[in-house]
Amino acid sequence: MGAPAKRQKREEFRRKVAAATTEPSGDGSASPPGSVLNLPQKKYYRQRAHANPFSDHLLEYPLTPAHMDWSTHFPAYINPNATQMNAAGARRLLKDVEVVDIGCGFGGLLVGLAPVLPDTLMVGMEIRSKVAEYLTNRIHALRHQQQHLLQQTQTSTSSSSTPVPAPAPEPAQQPTTEITDNETPETTFPTTLIPGGYNNITALRANTMKFFPNFFARSQLSKIFICFPDPHFKARKHKARIVSETLNAEYAYALRPGGLLYTITDVEEYHFWILRHFGQQQGPEGSAEDEDANEQEEGGVKELFERLTPEELERDECVRVMMDSTEEGKKVSRNKGNKYVAVFRRKDDPAWPL
């Protein structure tokens, strides 16, 4: 099979999935009983691992956060009052998006977090279009499967019970639908109901380095995740890193005081880079090899963040998910690599100088 045939097959598959996803079934209620969406397969969504964050691409982004149409992303959370419109004339939600995974990749973190924070709206942002498409389809299939399962359990209990949302079995349990990196098409279906039914997660394609403030207003977010960012090893590529003195100011803008910014990487040098750029005087002696070390004076964006202690990390369920559920985290575990975690709390804005 030649490369063109492979590509053709991929495109065909993706078209099929797209058709299945957009069919009027919507939340799966109208689909014929018995037919459950399969999870998409990664092999049809391959894309090279790096994207140039400086190029224009053909991105879609809202004019302002008030223009963002979240209703298509979270249909289960649409405000029932149809007169509630946002600035672009789209239906409003009952609550705001609060958690962002920057560079969500194939979505391991979101899928893992969905039952941990079942009532919090979370969005994954990914610059690679095919990867974002994969995750969108994956979430759609997961929602569909949960819906299906819910219907089954309801009918089996003679359907007299109340139409409550998903009963919550042990929330910490890993969904059985977890995708691992190397395996065969996913044909197994979940047997457990997940709190939230994956209605609280979504994915979209975006370049967060450029357009983060178009999506999120000041202090809108309670958590930002940056998991296994592209390390950009070369010094002249450091401007393309997702963590930098100047971008951190944007994260601080969107993060509410008390909100948390989670980072994890398997590259030790990048870990120290992160610590440096969030204001921790750390790193092995002589590792301050880059020009950004100039900005080491007091003040700067560092005064907006403080690092969480190891005990606080211990207590945080999200840290565990970040360590274990992300695709990259699993890969690092397989290769017996190290994982470096750092979590920072957003402090209040400093007072204006008097």
Partner 1 sequence: MAQNFEHPFQGLQFVQKVSGGPRDVLVASSGAKLYTYSADSGQRLSVWPQDGADTSTANDTGSNPENEGPPEKKRKVDPEETKATAAPAKKKPAAWSHIPILTSTPDGKYVVALTAEDKCIRVFQIEVDGTFLELSSRPMPKRPCSITFMEENEILLGDKFGDVYSMPLIPSAEPRISKAAREHQKRIAATNLTVHTQRNLKSLEMQKQQAAKKAAVKADKAQEDAPAFEHQLLLGHVSLLTDVAFVSLPSPDPSSTRRRGYILSADRDEHIRVSRGPPQAHVIENYCLGHSAFVNSLCIPQWAPEILISGGGDPYLLVWNWTAAQILQKVPLVEETTKAKDVAVRSIWASSFDSGFSNPTRLILVVLEGSPTLLSFTLSSDGTLTTQKPLTTSGNVLNVQPHPTANTLIISVDNIREPGSTQDWRSAPASSQTRLQTFTLKQGGETLEWESVPSALTDNINAAETSTVSAGADKKAQTALNTSLYGLENLRKKTYGDDDAGSVL
Sequence ranges of the binding site: 103, 126-127, 207-208, 227, 326-328
Residue 328 host element (H or E): helix 327-334
How many residues lie near partner 1 (CB under 8 A)?
69
CA distance 286 to 272: 12
Out of 17, 51, 142, 318, point to the residue binding partner 1 (CB under 8 A): 51
Out of 230, 295, 306, 316, point to the residue binding partner 1 (CB under 8 A): 295
For 349, which DSSP code? P
Out of 128, 148, 223, 277, point to the residue binding partner 1 (CB under 8 A): 128
Kind of pairing between the strands at 305-307 and 340-346: antiparallel
Least distance (Å) between residue 126 CB and partner 1: 12
Identify which of residues 44 and 198 has a Cβ nearer to partner 1 in the complex: 44
Out of 9, 16, 218, 237, point to the residue binding partner 1 (CB under 8 A): 218
Stretch that binds partner 1, among 136-144, 153-161, 181-189, 345-353 (CB under 8 A): 345-353
Task: State both tokens at 343.
Answer: 């979590």
Out of 1, 19, 24, 48, point to the residue binding partner 1 (CB under 8 A): 48
5 binds partner 1 (CB under 8 A): no
54 with 31: CB under 8 angstroms?
no
96 binds partner 1 (CB under 8 A): no
User: In a 10 Å sphere around its CB, with 0-12 CB exposed, 13-18 middle and 19+ buried, how is residue 173 labelled?
Assistant: exposed
CA distance 297 to 274: 16
3 binds partner 1 (CB under 8 A): yes
Out of 120, 266, 275, 341, point to the residue binding partner 1 (CB under 8 A): 266
Which residues are marked as active site? 230
User: Binding site for S-adenosyl-L-methionine: which residues?
Assistant: 103, 126-127, 207-208, 227, 326-328
CA distance 185 to 98: 33
Which residues partner with 263 through β-bridges? 226, 342
158 binds partner 1 (CB under 8 A): no
27 binds partner 1 (CB under 8 A): no
Q: What number of other Cβ atoms are within 10 A of residue 1's Cβ?
A: 7
Please report, to the nearest 10 degrees, the dihedral formed by the alpha carbons of residues 134, 331, 168, 315 taken in order: -130
Phi-psi region at 19: left, alpha or beta (left = phi > 0; alpha = psi -120 to 50): alpha
Binding residues for partner 1, rule: CB under 8 A, are 3, 6-7, 46-48, 50-58, 63-64, 128-130, 209-211, 213-214, 218, 231, 233, 235, 239, 244-250, 252-253, 266-270, 286-291, 293-296, 299-301, 303-304, 332, 335-338, 349-350, 352-354
